[in-house]
Amino acid sequence: MTLLAVDDVTVRYGRLTALRGITLAITEGEVLFVTGPNGAGKSTLLNAIAGVVPPISGAITLDGANVTGASPEQIARLGFSLVPEGRNVFAGLTIEENLKVGAGMRIDKHKVAGDLDFVYREFPMLAERRHTAAGMLSGGQQQMLVIGRALMASPRLMAIDEPSLGLAPKIIDQVYDILMRLRAQRTLTLLIVEQSSTRAMMTGGRMILMRGGRIVLEGDARDMVKDKALKQAYFGFGDH
């Protein structure tokens, strides 16, 4: 079943066109990687889905509902959770308060306590420091916190923008371990944006390559990366 459909979406910032007629669909339960160089429009794509930047044309459908031009809070309430680039923890709030903000909109309040326990089990470091201000955490810990916070919203589709940005390789492994485990346990659909295709190849799943606001290539991540010629031609950069 198609969970998210983006149909011919164009986004402009003033005179700059960031997305040029993007069309893609995500099936429930799958992992979709969006890769591409800087300025390809990856983050804009996520922001358009989240309702932060309105598309000037095209349509976005989330779980059957047309959400084109809807507000971020409406889209979040339909089960879309975005972990934006740069982590965006509420630095002055404690870890637990950050997590509670994530659960604020939920209707199934009785399940919130259980999910809080779940997040604390997955990220024991967060449990230890639950009353610490989130601004005191390291980059890796903040990444765990924002993923935990997004989970507290009990989303059906979770989008993550550059989860590996600025993190040590060991921490990146850990983040992906958790993401893949969560996906299996909670039937979570994932949309992951990464600049490099290495992670997509390691993890497997479908991959979209963007350049200049367009989708230039789409296919199984492992097949795509195997093809050296394609890689050189479309990626425009060497091995990562």
Partner 1 sequence: MTAALQIVFDALSLGGLYALGALGIALIFGVMRLVNFAHGDFIAFCVFAMLWPSINAAAIVFAGNLPFYLLIPVLLLVGAALSMLSEVVVFRRFRNANPATMMIASFALGFVVRHLLLMLYSSRPKSITLWPSLGLPVEIFGARIPMLQVVTIIITVAVLAVLTLFLKRTRYGLEMRAAAENFTMARMLGVRANNVILLAFAISGMLAAAIGLILATNSGTADIGMGANVMLIAFIATVIGGLGSLPGAVAAGFLIGAASVVFQATLPHDLRVFRDAFVYGAVIVVLLVRPQGLFAPKSAKQRV
What residues line the site for partner 1 (CB under 8 A)?
Answer: 50, 52, 71-73, 76-77, 81-82, 84, 87-88, 90-93, 97-98, 100-102, 104-105, 133, 135, 138-139, 142, 149-150, 153
Which lies closer to partner 1 via its Cβ, residue 123 or residue 235?
123
* Cβ proximity of 210 and 216 under 8 Å: yes
- Minimum CB separation of residue 78 from partner 1 in Å reads 10
Q: CA 158, CA 196: separation in Å to the nearest integer?
A: 19
Q: In the complex, what is the shortest distance from the CB of residue 9 to partner 1, in angstroms, rounded to a whole number?
A: 18
Q: How far is the CB of 224 from partner 1 (least distance, A)?
A: 30
Closest of 2, 42, 68 to residue 196, by C-alpha: 42
Shortest Å distance, C-beta 91 to partner 1:
4
Say which residues have a Cβ less than 8 Å from residue 168's Cβ, sequence separation at least 6. Answer: 140
To which H or E segment does residue 220 belong?
strand 214-220
Q: Minimum distance between the CB of residue 101 and partner 1, rounded to whole angstroms? A: 5
84 vs 205 by CB, closer to partner 1: 84
Q: Which is nearer to partner 1, 149 or 206 (CB)?
A: 149
Residues 197, 86: Cα–Cα separation, whole Å: 19
Q: How far is the CB of 88 from partner 1 (least distance, A)?
A: 5
Nearest to 193 by CA among 40, 62, 58, 53: 40
SS3 20: strand
Residue 47, classified by CB atoms within 10 Å of its CB into exposed (0-12), middle (13-18) or buried (19+), is: buried
Residue nearer to partner 1 on the CB measure, 191 or 215: 191
The nearer residue to partner 1, 159 or 217, going by C-beta atoms, is 159
Identify which of residues 140 and 205 has a Cβ nearer to partner 1 in the complex: 140
Handedness of CA 111, 116, 119, 121 (dihedral sign): negative
